[in-house]
Amino acid sequence: MIKFKFLKLVVDIGNTCTKLALFDKKRLTKHEIIPKLSLEKTIKFCGDNKIESSIFSSVVSLCESDYQIINFFDGLLFNNKTPVPIESNYKSEIGSDRLSAVIGANYLFPNKDIWVFDAGTCLTADFITKDKVHEGGRISPGIEMRYKSLHSFTSKLPSLSLEPNSIFKGNNTNESIISGVQQGILAEVRALISDFRKYNNDFVVVFTGGNASFFEKELKSSIFADQFLVLKGLNEILDYNEKD
């Protein structure tokens, strides 16, 4: 006899791919990245597990087939009207992935002031207090966007991408671009952390996103990195909406 396990399905639809995850209460038991969301792939991912609840989040506009998948699982579609387990002083609508990362960080480090960095297409930095109040932050171009802009907005600079080694100074054009982009974005992060320490020396720095490993390598022990931060945040939002 097949034993079914009751799990929660968490789906994060991004600009370039979709992340699927299964949670057993607070524990992430399975995850997968697929190019595009489809019902067939989602059902296959769930396997023999019984999905007791689900949450879907997207930073792109959803199509009819996406809504059909959400309805199939009777899922919660996370948007700016969805109740969340934190307060926010942000005065405009915030991206679902950005807010989920903040909530995920607050779950991992309760009763701590936290700077949450999401290193993806953009580099976002958000501050949440130990009292669970999101106070906003910063948005700037991510690593690949910086590389692409140098090539797109000039006539002669080459098209480059993230390199494993961040050169301090370049001896040719390519090396100078690598140094400018990678050392530049590192300097931006270091400056934020250093400037904030003048006012508050008791906070945690957490990174997530596609380029989080780059910052983890370069900044070493001064930060925490968690590639599943957004998924964990969405799981917290799902739990919060089911508590009653």
- 7 φ, ψ to 5°? -130, 170
Percent of the chain surpassing pLDDT 70: 98
Mean per-residue pLDDT, 136-162: 97
pLDDT for 121-142, tens place per residue? 899 999 999 999 999 999 999 9
Q: Which residues are catalytic?
A: 97
pLDDT for 27-79, tens place per residue? 999 999 999 999 999 999 999 899 999 999 999 999 999 999 999 999 999 99
pTM of the model: 0.92
Contacts of 57 (CB under 8 A, 6+ apart): 11, 12, 13, 77, 78, 96, 97, 100, 230, 234
Domains along the chain with CATH numbers? 6-77 (3.30.420.40), 87-232 (3.30.420.40)
Burial class (CB in 10 A: 0-12, 13-18, 19+), 148: middle
